[in-house]
A and B are shown apart, each in its own frame.
Chain A
Amino acid sequence: MYSWKSWHDSRHRLALYAGACLAVGAITGLDIWGTYHFWAAWIAVTTNPRLKLWDPSFDAWAWGINVITELMLPVVVWSSLVLGVTSVGREDSSGAMTFILTRPQKRWRIVWDEWALSVAEISIILSMLVLGMVPFLFLISRIYVSFSGLILPAVVAVAACLYGLTQFLTLLTRSSAKGLSATIAVILFYLFLPSALDDWWHISWPSKVTDLSLSVFRPEWDGLPSIHWEIAMLWVIVGLIFPFLSQWLIERREV
Chain B
Amino acid sequence: MTDAVISTQGLTKIYPDVRAIDGLNLNVPRGAVYGFLGRNGAGKTTTLRTLLGLSHPTGGSAQVLGLDIRKDHVAILQCTGFVSETKQLFDSLTAEQLVRFNRGYYPKWSDSLVERYVNLFEIPMKRPFGKLSLGNRTKVCHLLALCQGADLLMLDEPTSGLDPVMTDLLLRVLVEDHVSEGRTVFVSSHHLSEVERIADWIGIIEGGKLLLETRLEDIRQNFRLVLASGDSASEIAAPNLVSKRRSEKFHRYLVSREADDFVMRLRAQGMTILEVSPVNLGEVFLGLAGKELPCIPGNPGTTRAIA
Which A residues lie at the B interface, using CB under 8 A? 1, 4-5, 8-9, 91, 94-96, 98-99, 101-106, 252, 254-255
Number of interface residues of B (CB under 8 A): 26
In the complex, the answer to whether B89 meets A99 with C-beta atoms within 8 Å is yes
CB within 8 Å for A103 and B77 given contacts A96-B90, A98-B54, A254-B55: yes
What's the nearest-Cβ distance from chain B to residue A99, in Å? 5
- Which one of A1, A8, A91, A254 lies within 8 Å of B54 (CB-CB)? A254
Give the residue name and chain of the B residue nearest to A102 (CB). B82
In the complex, the answer to whether B105 meets A98 with C-beta atoms within 8 Å is no
In the complex, the answer to whether A99 meets B56 with C-beta atoms within 8 Å is no
Which residues of A sit under 8 angstroms from B78, Cβ to Cβ?
A: 104
- Which one of A98, A105, A254 lies within 8 Å of B74 (CB-CB)? A105
CB within 8 Å for A8 and B89 given contacts A254-B54, A255-B49: no
- How far is B104's CA from A103's CA once the two chains are assembled, in angstroms? 10
In the complex, the answer to whether B86 meets A101 with C-beta atoms within 8 Å is no
Q: Rank and list the top 5 A-B pairs by shortest CB-CB distance, nearest first.
A: A95-B88, A104-B77, A104-B78, A1-B104, A98-B84
Asked if B25 CB lies within 8 Å of chain A CBs, one says no
CB within 8 Å for A94 and B91 given contacts A8-B97, A99-B84: yes
Which residues of B sit under 8 angstroms from A91, Cβ to Cβ?
A: 90
What's the nearest-Cβ distance from chain A to residue B158, in Å? 15
Other than the known A95-B86, A255-B55, what 16 A-B pairs have Cβ atoms closer than 8 Å?
A: A5-B101, A8-B92, A8-B93, A91-B90, A95-B88, A98-B49, A98-B54, A99-B88, A102-B52, A103-B77, A104-B74, A104-B105, A105-B74, A254-B49, A254-B54, A254-B56
Give the residue name and chain of the B residue nearest to A103 (CB). B105
- How far is B104's CA from A153's CA once the two chains are assembled, in angstroms? 33
What's the nearest-Cβ distance from chain B to residue A114, in Å? 14
Give the residue name and chain of the A residue nearest to B82 (CB). A102
Which residues of A sit under 8 angstroms from B277, Cβ to Cβ?
A: none
- Which one of A99, A101, A105 lies within 8 Å of B90 (CB-CB)? A99
Listed by A's residue number, 13 A-B pairs whose Cβ atoms lie within 8 Å are A8-B92, A8-B97, A91-B90, A94-B90, A95-B86, A96-B90, A98-B49, A101-B54, A102-B52, A102-B54, A103-B102, A104-B105, A255-B49
CB within 8 Å for A106 and B74 given contacts A98-B86, A99-B84: yes
- How far is B106's CA from A105's CA once the two chains are assembled, in angstroms? 10
Residue-wise interface mask of B (60-101) relative to A, using a CB-CB cutoff of 8 A (1 in contact, 0 not): 000000000000001101100010101011111100010011
Query: Could you tell me which residues of chain B, from 28 to 70, have a CB within 8 Å of some CB in chain A?
Result: 49, 52-56
Which residues of B sit under 8 angstroms from A106, Cβ to Cβ?
A: 74
What's the nearest-Cβ distance from chain A to residue B20, in Å? 11
- How far is B49's CA from A255's CA once the two chains are assembled, in angstroms? 8
Which residues of B sit under 8 angstroms from A104, Cβ to Cβ?
A: 74-75, 77-78, 105-106
Give the residue name and chain of the A residue nearest to B13 (CB). A254
What's the nearest-Cβ distance from chain A to residue B267, in Å? 53
Which residues of A sit under 8 angstroms from B104, Cβ to Cβ?
A: 1, 4
In the complex, the answer to whether A96 meets B54 with C-beta atoms within 8 Å is no
What's the nearest-Cβ distance from chain A to residue B192, in Å? 25
In the complex, the answer to whether B105 meets A255 with C-beta atoms within 8 Å is no
CB within 8 Å for A5 and B54 given contacts A104-B105, A105-B105: no
What's the nearest-Cβ distance from chain B to residue A59, in Å? 48
Give the residue name and chain of the A residue nearest to B91 (CB). A94
- How far is B158's CA from A243's CA once the two chains are assembled, in angstroms? 36
Which residues of A sit under 8 angstroms from B75, Cβ to Cβ?
A: 104
